[in-house]
Structure 1
Amino acid sequence: MNIPLLDLKAQYSQIREEVQAAINEVMESQHFILGPKVQELEEAIASYSQTKYALGVSSGTDALLLALMALEVGKDDIVITTPYSFFATAGCVARLGAIPKFVDIDEKTFNIDPEQLKTMLNSLTPDEHKRLKAVIPVHLFGQMADMEKILPICQEHNVPIIEDAAQAIGSECLLNGQVKRAGSIGAIGCFSFFPSKNLGGIGDGGMVVTNDPVLYEKMKIMRVHGSSPKYYHKFIGGNFRLDAIQAAVLLVKLQYLDTWTAQRQQHAKAYRTLLENNASVQLPPCIHDETNAPKHHHIYNQFCIRTEKRDELKNHLQENGIATEIYYPLPLHMQECFRYLGHRKGDFPKTEKAAATSLALPVFPELTKAQMEETVKVIHQFTS
C-alpha cells in the first residue's frame, strides 16, 4: 500500500468545481493583484483569528519579514526565537542584518521554553536590551507555544511578540481563562498558505494579522514598496502582495478548514490509541490536558512521533511504501549560514535531540483508516 505524507489530489477532488469556479471568476475579472478577493479573505482571516486587522502577503516568509520591518528591526538589533523551526523564522531576522538569539525548546511541546526565555531576557546586558526588538515564539506543528507564560515575560521586558503561526492557523490556547487563537496575542501574527499547510493555496501566499491600527496601516503601506500615495514612498517596503487568485481559492478552502482540522485531530487520536503500547515510540506532546483544552488546541499540521532509531524507521516505512518526513534534520544554530553566531553542537540539547529523533507521519484529513492501520502495523513490525 502506497501512503503519501500529504494527498492534495484527494482534497482537490472534493472541492474541484468550487475551486475552478473561483479561479474562473478571477480570470473573468482580470483583477489579479490585491483587490476585492484579497480584501474579502483578509476580513475572513481576521475574524477567524480573532484579530481586528489582516493583510494578505506573498508568502509566510514575507509575512515574517514584513512584521520585522514594521517593528523597525535592523542592523545589529536582537531578535529572540527558537532554533527548532523552518529556516524562515531566523532567516528573515538575518536578512535585515539583525542577530537571532536562540532559546532551547521545551521537549514536552517542541516549542520555545518560557523559563529559558525568561533566563535569556534577564541575562541581557543593558546594551543588548536596548537592541532587543522582538521575540518570535513558533507555534510548531500546529500547537501554540505556552503564551500564558510567554506574554507576561515579554511584557515585563517591554519587548513585542511576533507569533510565527505559519503551521497553526486556528490553533488555540487558554490565556487568563479565555480561549485565544494563534496570531491574536502578540503585536503581529504571521501565517503561511503554502500548499502543505492546513489552509493551503495553489502556490505561495501568507497573511499578517494584528490588533494594532498603527502597525496595520504601516504594514499596509510597506506591502506595496512603502508607497502611499502611489509613487510616493514613506517607508522602504517590498513587493509583499497576495495574488487575487490565491485569495479566491483560499476563500473556498476556508469554509472547510474546521472540518479538516477535526479530521486531523481524529487521526491523531487514533494514532495515539494504536501506538500507546509501543514503548519504542514517543507520541507527540500536548501542552494542555485534553479534557480541559480548547477545541482547536492542536490542529496537527504535522503528527510527529519520536524514536531513537528514527532514520532506520523512516527507511523501513519508505521501503513499505509509506511516506514520512523529518522536520527538521539540522537545527538552525547548526546551519552553515549561521556559523558566524558561534554556536556549537550541544548548545541547545533539547532541540538537537528533537531534530535527531522526530518523524512526521501522514495525518492529512483524507487519510483512511486502512492507511493509518497499515502505517502503524509497519511501525510495530520495525520496533518489535
Structure 2
Amino acid sequence: MQFRDLKTQYKQNKSEIDSAIQEVLISSQFIGGKQVRELEQRLAEYVGVKHCISCANGTDALSLVLMAWGIKEGDAVFVPDFTFFSTGEVVSFNGATPVFVDVDEKTFNLDPEKLIRAIEKVSSEGILKPRAVIPVDLFGLPANYNQIENIANHYNLLVLEDGAQGFGGNINGKMACSFGDAATTSFFPAKPLGCYGDGGAIFTNDDKTAELLNSYKVHGKGYNKYDNVRIGVNSRLDSIQAAILQIKLKAFKEHELDGVNKAYQLYTKILKNIVQTPYIPEGYYSSFAQYTIKLESKEERDGLQEKLRENDIPSMIYYVKPMHRQQAFSNQIHKEEDFRVTNELCDTVLSLPMHPYLKEEEVEEVCSVIKEYMFKRKK
C-alpha cells in the first residue's frame, strides 16, 4: 500500500504525460516558453485570480512575496505554530521575525482569537512592527479567512495564504489560493497537485505585486534578464514540469479531488466513533493533502503507528516538533502554555494513506487494523 500513490497516477496518465514531456524535448525550450505561460493562465483561471506567477518551489513562492512586500528586519509576521518549517523560515530569511500562534483544536489551522492576542502583545511591547500574517491551509483545509482577513484589516496587516497543502480546497466556492493579498502553493510531488520535482506558484490580483514578483524571480530583471534593476533570485519553473502539471491539473479537476473526498468519507464513516477524525466546517471543502486522525496520547499514537507498520501500512506524523521548539528559532523566548493545542497535536496526530487512487478495500484494511488496535486498548 502506498501513502501517496504516484505510481498509479502516472500509469493512468502515462501517454499524455509522456507526450507532453516529448514535446518539450523536441522544442528544446526548457526554461520559460509556452508550457509555462499556458500553465500560469490555466492556474489563474482555476483559482479565480488575475495573476499566477510560477517559480521554483513553494518555499521560494512565500519568500518572493515577502520580498515584494518589503518585509524586513524589525517586522513581525504571524505564523501558525503547527505547520512545516518553511512558513516560518521564509520570514527569518527575509530578515523579519516570525511570531508563532497556536492553532484551533478542531481544524488545526491558525486560531483567530489567539492571533488577536499575539498581535496585541507585539504591539504593546513596541519592539517589532506587525506587518503580515501567513495562515496555512493545513492538510488541505483552508484556514478561517473570514475572521483572519477581518483581523488583518483591523490591524493593517497583509495576508499571505500558504496554500502549499490546500490547492483545490474552497470555502463556499471561493477557491484556496485566492484569499488574502497574495497566496502561494507548492508542486512538490506529494502535494494535491504535484509535479515530478520541485515547483511552486504565487497568486495575486495586484498588478504591481505581480510585476515585482516577475522581476524578483529572475535576478531582479527589468525589460530583460540582462537589465537588472534590483537584487533578486533565480527561481523559475522549468518547461518539463509545467508540461507535466498541465496534464495533472486536468486529472485533478476531472476526478482526483472527488477521489480523495470519497476516501475521506469512507474513512470517516468507519472511524468516526473510534478515533478523532478530520473536522471540516460547514461550507468548507478540503483537498486532503493528508487524512489526519488524533489519538488520546503519544503512547496510543505511537503504538498505533507501530501496529500499522507491522501490517505493511504506511503512516506519517505531521509534525513531530512545533515551530517554537525548532533549534533554528531558539533565540526566541516562549511560554509553553501559549502553545497548548500545538504541543498536544505533535504528540497525538497520525496521517493515514490518502490519495485519489486509494481503493475501497485498502481504506477498509487500514480501518480494520485501527479498530482492532483500539478495541484491544480499551479492554
TM-score, scaled relative to structure 2: 0.95
Given the alignment of the two structures, is residue 249 of structure 1 paired with residue 240 of structure 2, yes or no? no
2:103 alignment partner in structure 1: 105
What displacement does 1:277 show? Answer: 2.5
Among candidates 219, 223, 228, match of residue 225 of structure 1: 219
Report the Cα distance in structure 2 between the residues aligned to 1:149 and 1:80, rounded to whole angstroms: 15
Structure 2 equivalent of residue 185 of structure 1 = 179
Match of 1:323 in 2: 314
2:119 and 2:130 in contact (8 A); partners too = no
Shift in alpha-carbon separation, 1:127–1:224, aligned structure 2, 3 A = farther
Deviation at 1:98, TM superposition (A): 1.1
Distance 1:354 1:83 in 2: 11
Is contact 1:108-1:287 (8 Å) kept? no
Whole-Å separation in 2 of the counterparts to 1:235 and 1:131: 25
The equivalent of 1:359 in structure 2 is 350
Separation in structure 2 between the aligned mates of residue 64 and residue 102 of structure 1, nearest angstrom: 16
> C-alpha deviations, 1:229-260, integer Å up to 9, x for none?
23222221101111011000000000011310
Cα drift, residue 94 of structure 1: 1.1
* Alignment correspondent of 2:196: 202
CA distance change for structure 1 residues 240 and 127 in 2, over 3 Å: closer, same or farther?
A: farther
Q: In 2, are the aligned partners of 1:346 and 1:352 still within 8 Å (CA)?
A: no
Question: How far off its partner does 1:128 sit?
Answer: 4.5
Pairwise CA distance, 1:129: 8.4
Q: Does the 8 Å contact 1:56/1:241 carry over to 2? A: yes
SS of 1:75's partner is coil
Residue pair 1:146, 1:287 contacting (<8 A) in 2 also: no
1:1-384 aligned within 5 A: 3-125=1-123, 128=126, 131-174=129-172, 179-229=173-223, 230-258=225-253, 259-278=255-274, 281-288=275-282, 293=283, 297-307=285-295, 308=297, 309-384=300-375
Distance 2:294 2:123 in 1: 37
2 CA distance for matches of 1:287 and 1:88?
26
Structure 1, 181-190 or 337-346: larger mean CA deviation: 337-346
* Contact 1:80/1:103 (<8 A) preserved: yes
The answer to whether the 8 Å contact 2:122/2:128 transfers is no
> Partners of 2:53 and 2:124 in 1: how far apart?
35
Paired with 2:148 and 2:66, the residues of 1 have a C-alpha distance of 19
Kindly provide the CA deviation profile for residues 171-207 of structure 1, in whole angstroms up to 9, marking residues without a partner as x: 1114xxxx31112121110000000011110000000
Query: What residue identity is the alignment partner of 1:302?
Result: Q
Distance in 2 between residues matched to 1:320 and 1:140, nearest whole Å: 28
Q: Which amino acid aligns with 2:231?
A: I
Shift of 1:41: 0.4
> Is the 8 Å Cα contact of residues 168 and 192 (structure 2) preserved in structure 1?
no
- RMSD value over aligned CA atoms? 1.4
> What whole-Å deviation, never above 9, does each CA across 1:111-166 have from its counterpart, x for those lacking one?
00011112222333367487222100001000001111111110111111000000
Q: Distance in 2 between matches of 1:351 and 1:130?
A: 24
Mapped to 1, the partners of 2:247 and 2:338 lie a distance apart of: 45
Q: Are 1:184 and 1:209, in contact at CA under 8 Å, matched by a contact in 2? A: yes
Could you state the TM-score of these two structures normalised by the residue count of structure 1?
0.94
Q: How far apart, CA to CA, are the structure 2 residues paired with 1:149 and 1:344? A: 25
- SS at 2:174 equivalent: strand
3-state SS of paired residue (1:102): strand
Residue 299 of structure 1 aligns with an amino acid whose one-letter code is S
**Could you tell me how far 1:216 is from its partner in structure 2?**
0.4
Q: Would the aligned equivalents of 1:226 and 1:238 in 2 still touch at CA under 8 Å?
A: yes
Amino acid at match of 2:309: Q
| Secondary structure of the corresponding residue to residue 190 of structure 2 | coil
Q: In structure 1, give the amino acid aligned to 2:216.
A: M
CA 128–233 in structure 1, closer or farther in 2 if over 3 Å, else same: farther
Q: Does the residue aligned with 1:125 lie in a helix, a strand or coil?
A: helix
SS of residue paired to 1:134: strand
- Any conservation in 2 of the 1:78–1:128 contact (CA below 8 Å)? no
Matched residue of 1:195: which SS?
coil
CA distance in 1, matches of 2:81, 2:30: 37
Residue 277 of structure 2 contacts residue 294 of structure 2 at CA under 8 Å; is this kept in 1? Answer: yes
Contact 2:165 2:191 in 1 (8 A): yes
Q: Is the 8 A contact 2:82 2:322 kept in 1?
A: yes
Structure 1 segments unaligned to the other structure (5+ residues): none
Deviation of the 1:227 alpha carbon: 1.1
SS in 2 for 1:84: coil
Contact 2:169/2:175 (<8 A) preserved: yes
